[in-house]
Amino acid sequence: MRTQVGIIGAGPAGLLLSHLLHLRGISSVVLEKRSRDYVERRVRAGVLEQGTVDTLVEAGVGARLLREGLPHHGIELRYGGAGHRIAFEKLVPGRSITVYGQQEVVKDLIAARLEAGGDVRFEVEDVALHGLEAEPYLTFGGERLDCDVIAGCDGFHGVSRPSVPDGVLSFFERDYPFAWLGVLAEVAPSSEELIYSQTERGFALHSMRSPTVSRFYLQVPPDATTEEWPDERIWDELKARLETVPGFTLTTGRIIEKGVTPMRGFVTEPMQYGRLYLAGDAAHIVPPTGAKGLNLAVADVRVLTEALDRFFSTGSTGLLDGYSDACLKRVWRAQHFSWWMTTLLHTFDSDDDYGRRLQRSHIDYVTSSDAAATTLAENYVGLPW
């Protein structure tokens, strides 16, 4: 079996790459180890930058996103007994974000791939990469797929990155001393806008998915498990961390999903080796406080599509050779912003009184200076694509 681009992973990066390549007449096969049902139900990100929305719409997979996505023109930072709005329309006029669940993006992309006759294989076993230096091919479940290029879109725990010989890639990493407990609940959002709340008990985030479904995150110890967090404890803690301003009441409801995500920053340099190109979480991870991971995956895929189009239409490897450099600037900007948001809003057990006062001064600055708030706003809505 032969294809031009062998893609490992049917997350947002792999599926979108396959679809964008299809629109340019380039063939691909997507190999995914999980079932279709599993990837369509996996609850993760929710904040799409304008560039991500534009990319999906231009690719013809944005109809439901435009119908059901929730445009947002600001977020609230809540701390010290008060809420402070970061007003995008004032600070970064004309720019906004859209709240739309990652698994909805994945559903839309899978539907589009299958409708266009795309080759997306689920529950594929033992994917392995070979011949990365010159003649790449993939093996899986007793089959062989020859390709011109391999795209490693298999997330942080995938096989692509570890298939590169030792010593070729450099890794830059920071682990945070806490995790996020993510919760999806059948209840109308208690706020129209996202609330990022900093308290002495830890950070909490109130987000949403629709007028009837809310999404929440709680800062928890790094080794926390969902068993330690029965529903009642989750609601008690969310109330303690969100009902910190006069007149705000959190409406509770049925919890339909919960999971714990470790918090880390991680970057691979370069994001390529021979005929293998890494995209999305396979190449880099950000702590989710800045809502950047999915958006970075989409940005990588855009760059890779252009480079592959040039390669297949002219034989020139110029853009492919520069793929990593073209992506890493944005990747490091997102690393810095995500670190900045994380340190601004989380409680660090290691902090002494000096550290806590510095953090308070930092939030006071962000909420009282338009210059500082603009830094937050322009990174949050995303730098121009």
Residue ranges that bind ligand FAD, judged by CB under 6 A: 8-14, 31-34, 39, 44-47, 102, 124, 127, 153-155, 158-159, 180, 182, 261, 280-281, 288, 291-295, 297
User: Which CB atom, from 110 or from 204, has the smaller least distance to ligand DHB?
Assistant: 204
Question: Choosing from 19, 258, 292, 346, which is the catalytic residue?
Answer: 292
Whether 176 is a known active-site residue: answer no
Question: Choosing from 79, 176, 196, 217, which is the catalytic residue?
Answer: 196
The edge-to-edge listing of strands for the beta sheet with 195-199 is 82-87, 74-79, 195-199, 202-210, 213-220, 170-186, 254-269, 284-285
- Least distance in angstroms from the C-beta of 351 to ligand FAD: 24
Whether 292 is a known active-site residue: answer yes
Contact 182, 43 (CB under 8 A): yes
Residue 331, contacted partner among ligand DHB, ligand FAD, none, CB below 5-8 A by kind: none
Residue 34: C-alpha distances to residues 2, 105, 123, 137 (Å) = 22, 17, 5, 21
| Peptide bond connecting 211 to the previous residue in cis, omega within 30 degrees of 0 | no
- Least distance in angstroms from the C-beta of 367 to ligand FAD: 22
Closest CB to ligand DHB: residue number:
46
Whether 72 is a known active-site residue: answer yes
User: Which CB atom, from 159 or from 245, has the smaller least distance to ligand FAD?
Assistant: 159
Strand ranges (DSSP E) for the chain?
Answer: 2-8, 28-31, 47-49, 70-72, 74-79, 82-87, 97-99, 119-121, 128-130, 137-140, 143-152, 170-186, 195-199, 202-210, 213-220, 254-269, 272-273, 276-278, 284-285
User: Which CB atom, from 172 or from 365, has the smaller least distance to ligand FAD?
Assistant: 172
- Least distance in angstroms from the C-beta of 76 to ligand DHB: 12
- Least distance in angstroms from the C-beta of 230 to ligand DHB: 22
Residue 10: C-alpha distances to residues 4, 37, 63, 158 (Å) = 17, 12, 20, 11
Whether 288 is a known active-site residue: answer yes
Whether 262 is a known active-site residue: answer no
- Least distance in angstroms from the C-beta of 288 to ligand DHB: 3
- Helix, strand, or coil (residue 224): coil
Contact 150, 130 (CB under 8 A): no
The edge-to-edge listing of strands for the beta sheet with 47-49 is 47-49, 97-99, 70-72
Residue with tokens 């691909």: 28
User: Which CB atom, from 311 or from 337, has the smaller least distance to ligand DHB?
Assistant: 337
Structure tokens at 161: 């990155």
Contact 327, 267 (CB under 8 A): no
Residues that bind ligand DHB (CB under 6 A): 45-47, 194, 205, 207, 215, 288-289, 291
- Classify residue 131 as exposed, middle or buried by CB count within 10 Å of its CB (0-12, 13-18, 19+): middle
Residue 32, contacted partner among ligand DHB, ligand FAD, none, CB below 5-8 A by kind: ligand FAD
Question: Choosing from 19, 33, 72, 206, which is the catalytic residue?
Answer: 72
Residue 382, contacted partner among ligand DHB, ligand FAD, none, CB below 5-8 A by kind: none
Residue 21, contacted partner among ligand FAD, ligand DHB, none, CB below 5-8 A by kind: none
- Least distance in angstroms from the C-beta of 136 to ligand DHB: 34
Residue 215, contacted partner among ligand FAD, ligand DHB, none, CB below 5-8 A by kind: ligand DHB
Supply the residues annotated as catalytic: 72, 196, 288, 292, 380
